[in-house]
Amino acid sequence: MLKNSTPRQIALRAAATIGGSILGLILLSKAFNPTVISWWLVVAILLSSLTVSYLVVLTYLDRYIYRKIKLIYKTIHQQKVSTDIKREGVDLDQPIIDDVEQEVEEWVEKQQNQIDQYERFAEYRRRYVGDISHELKTPIFNIQGYLHTLLEGGYYDEKIAMSFLKKAAKNVERLQTIVEDLSAISRLESGELILDTEPFDIKALAVEVFEEVEMKSKEVRVELGFKPGADIGSMVMADRESIRQVLVNLITNSLKYGNVEGTTRIGFYDMESYILCEVADNGIGIPEKHLPHVFDRFYRVDKSRSRQKGGSGLGLAIVKHIMEAHQQTINVRSSPGLGSTFGITLAKA
């Protein structure tokens, strides 16, 4: 009962207790000497003691609560708070301690959430730095080995020199790809990417991307094409160049992990307010346990094969960030031995 009491209620209880004590002493005195004090004086003393006790207790409570609240607010508020504001904030008719207790609990919860977030950021940073170091180490180590071999006399053999220079150049290209993709990820996460949305035909863009990766598809002997029903183009509203990068990354990914003489098909589906665009292949597929992580940075299902195929390991992470910047979705369905299907949604124009 006392826990939810207001300062005035506490003061009244204290005054009643003090007044009762004084009344008891007076009655005890009159019991031994009835003429020691008159009844009207007893009433006057009782009322005076109640009033004085109430005012004194209420004043001390007011100042006590004010000092406690001021101390609490000094602790939980980062900004300097005006004394006058806090003084006026003490409402003697409200259970102010309960209000402050609730605010402190909210502050503690907020602080804990911030601590948890900082810990996640710290863990993320540690993993990110570790991943970058690991990814850069391989091409740098390769380049170093090729150059040292040439410096130690390998350049005298024209055949060895040309072979090692080509391998070193390939690793330099991989380093450049990693750096460019890291820069793209950084821009996307910091919000520096400004979308230039415009209406365009997603089918026409897919045809351009097919032409762009045609040479690569012939090298790995994977056939590019459209699914049945995708003959008619669909107008969408998005940043055309960003979506081009999405399609290039998804199709290039399907070529890396596709089967020889396999296929990569693009399909379009009308979903009322948006268009679903799917890139499907009949390649090696992705085990179910890896599906939740395929959009993570540097995540590789088959690490040895992935590095042999080149790339930065950031392609799908970039795709995810671009779709999030468009406030659209991306999903993946896959089964080992059957292939993978990546789907993105785009707003209709």
Task: State the DSSP code for 300.
Answer: -
Strand partners, 238: 198
Domain boundary among 38, 73, 94: 94
Q: Which residues of 45-74 are buried (b: 16+ CB within 10 A; e: fewer)?
A: beeebbeebbeebbeebbeebbeebbebbe
Q: What does the block give as tokens for 78?
A: 């980062």
293: pLDDT strictly greater than 70? yes
Whether residue 2 is contained in a domain is answered as: no
Give dist(CA 278, CA 197) in Å, integer: 21
Contacts 24+ apart (CB under 8 A), 271-275: 271/345, 273/347, 273/348, 274/236, 274/328, 274/345, 274/346, 274/347, 274/348, 275/202, 275/234, 275/236, 275/345, 275/346, 275/347, 275/348
Domain boundary among 190, 205, 235: 190
- Of 137, 155, 109, the residue nearest 298 (C-alpha): 137
Amino acid 224: pLDDT: 92
Give dist(CA 148, CA 255) in Å, integer: 34
Percent of the chain with pLDDT over 90: 16
118: pLDDT strictly greater than 70? yes
Give dist(CA 174, CA 234) in Å, integer: 35
The winner for highest mean pLDDT among 54-68, 107-121, 248-262 is 248-262
Q: How confident is the model at residue 97 (pLDDT cuts 50, 70, 90)?
A: low
Same domain assignment for residues 297 and 253: yes
Same domain assignment for residues 290 and 334: yes
Residue predicted with more confidence, 224 or 26: 224
Same domain assignment for residues 231 and 182: no
pLDDT digits (tens, 9 = 90+) for 305-334: 444 555 567 788 888 888 988 889 999 998
Which helix (H) or strand (E) segment is 2 a member of?
none
pLDDT digits (tens, 9 = 90+) for 213-233: 998 899 889 999 998 877 666
266: pLDDT strictly greater than 90? yes
Range of the domain at 76: 7-94
Report yes or no on whether pTM surpasses 0.85: no
Same domain assignment for residues 64 and 132: no
Give dist(CA 247, CA 253) in Å, integer: 10
Q: How confident is the model at residue 294 (pLDDT cuts 50, 70, 90)?
A: confident
Q: How many domains does the chain have?
A: 3
Amino acid 83: pLDDT: 46
Which helix (H) or strand (E) segment is 271 a member of?
strand 262-271
Same domain assignment for residues 183 and 212: no
Return the CATH number at 285: 3.30.565.10
Q: What does the block give as tokens for 260?
A: 């020889």
Same domain assignment for residues 205 and 340: yes
Amino acid 170: pLDDT: 83
- Of 346, 271, 298, 276, the residue nearest 185 (C-alpha): 298
pLDDT, averaged across the chain: 78
Same domain assignment for residues 204 and 150: no
Same domain assignment for residues 201 and 284: yes
Average pLDDT over residues 124-135: 68
Percent of the chain with pLDDT over 70: 72
Amino acid 343: pLDDT: 92
Residue predicted with more confidence, 122 or 47: 47
31: pLDDT strictly greater than 50? yes
Same domain assignment for residues 22 and 61: yes
250: pLDDT strictly greater than 90? yes
pLDDT digits (tens, 9 = 90+) for 143-176: 888 888 888 887 777 888 888 888 888 888 878 8
Amino acid 87: pLDDT: 46
Amino acid 86: pLDDT: 46
Amino acid 93: pLDDT: 56
Same domain assignment for residues 25 and 71: yes
Average pLDDT over residues 48-59: 77
Give dist(CA 346, CA 251) in Å, integer: 17
Amino acid 263: pLDDT: 92
Amino acid 237: pLDDT: 93
Give dist(CA 255, CA 210) in Å, integer: 11
